[in-house]
Structure 1
Amino acid sequence: MSPNNKCDLRCILCHRPLRRIGEDFTGKPIYKCHNCQYVCTTISTAAETAALYDDPEYFDGWGCNLDFDYDRFEPSVHQQVDDYLDFIAAHTQGKSLLDVGTGSGLLPHLALRRGYDVEGTDLSKHVSQNVPAKGGFPVHHGTLEDIRFARKYDIITLLHVLEHTDDPLSMIGRCKELLNSEGYLVVVVPNYQSLDSRLKDALSKFKLKQRPYKHLALGHHNWVFSIKSLELLGEKCGLQIIYRETRQPAWRASAWHRLLGRFGLATWCWIVYRKGV
């Protein structure tokens, strides 16, 4: 196997051949576009993803619960959602909000209190059947491409959703269709170019990590993006990029973590797109 190891797969952005850079500890292959700065793996289906989100352990692992009892969610979960909402208020305008992949529904639930008119979508039947009564807002079941919406929105959020989709270009293109003129798309994803990811990539490459590339969460994630790849995605879909940064989760707010964000090395990518007139 050559060091470059080109394969038949091509980048969804620049269309150059991807390079297979290795495999994770479960045997999943890892493909990289060095030009666009992202990695991907074999794609999980929507059915596989939906099954994951109906697993109680998934929600428990993120400080939530399948009862959607928001008062029993971990404080860090509330802290993070408040951070999301502050960010949305600072970088967007309008009040109609669609939260794609709403999960627990906490974000739309708290957005209601801030005066937003909210709806959600989710692949999970459990979520779409139970969150409306708990959260106080409608949840559409299915993929964004399959759902038929009755209106368009000022703001659409993809918060830790884009990395799970089978086709990021299609997802962002569909969001654009669902936005009002000059509407906003807010995306948050793990940052492939973070300091943490770079260090763990190096340890994995030289077989110094007990579970190589576990940090990429492949299988759970189909893609791991960077700010550059998110910019290219937006440009390819004809969206304006009005803000981008890397930022640590809300519960990591030290001066060191803020410094990482200043140099584009923080854990998550945050980007805001705007649809033209």
Structure 2
Amino acid sequence: MDTKHQLDAYRVVNLLPFVSMPDRISVVRLRTALRFRPPNLALAKAGIFIHNGDEIWSFTTLPNLTSALDVMLDRSLGRSCPRAEVEADPTGRKVLSWLLRKHFERYLGRFSAQGLFVEGDANGSRAYFHGQGGKTRTISYRSRMAGEASRNVVVQRWGGRRPWFKNEGLGYQVVMLGGVWGVAIEPFYIFAGADACKPLPYAAQIERSSRWNGRDARTGASHLTFWEDFLTAGAPLVDLRQDGVDNLFLGRSLLQLPSQAAL
């Protein structure tokens, strides 16, 4: 099993596209490391941001970002960059991808009450369902075709003294494909031990993966439709906005694009 779910260079990618994004990115320069910030400085007021070297990058407007971090900044070096300018630079695209991913992960947090656990690994992000009290988990969600629906997202595959569970999960990566920004998603199964949460050791994952993480788990229509419905929560758009960022939305439907175009 590809535990990091990196995009294969020769596959079709299932992409939830961004249909609206801010046109500008705020960049401010720190005078000192954030770990030395005053105790009364509330980082939450700055919104979601990326700490890139000695700079902070954010969709938060420059005046609001500067106001939130004022005592930490060299105010003369703050700037508001057109997104097109950032996208034209390979390093800028990577930071922008990172920033968009943080907004998406913040959105995923809303599903924690339904057992979705977000790992947030910088090298290969994934989220998967935990069992409920060491047992299976069934969730309810809004289906575009059938209205209210339910799904067994954690199922027990072996009983006795050493049970293990098959947990549905999602690998995700923010990419630009053919000029379109989006969240590339790849459904998968992870295999958990008796607590229905903690993944089994790597060797056990590989053994079970050969059966359960085949092509159908990654691209089968039922898996993709479920994640499309679950992530959008029955809404026409996925709303990733926050205070000070008022135009960040993902579309409702997956696009299938060739991954060779990925940037």
- TM-score > 0.5, shorter chain as reference: no
- Bigger relative contact order, structure 1 or 2, given CA contacts below 8 A and separation 6+? 2
More strand as a share of residues? 2
User: When the two structures are superposed, what TM-score results if normalisation uses the length of structure 2?
Assistant: 0.27
User: When the two structures are superposed, what TM-score results if normalisation uses the length of structure 1?
Assistant: 0.26
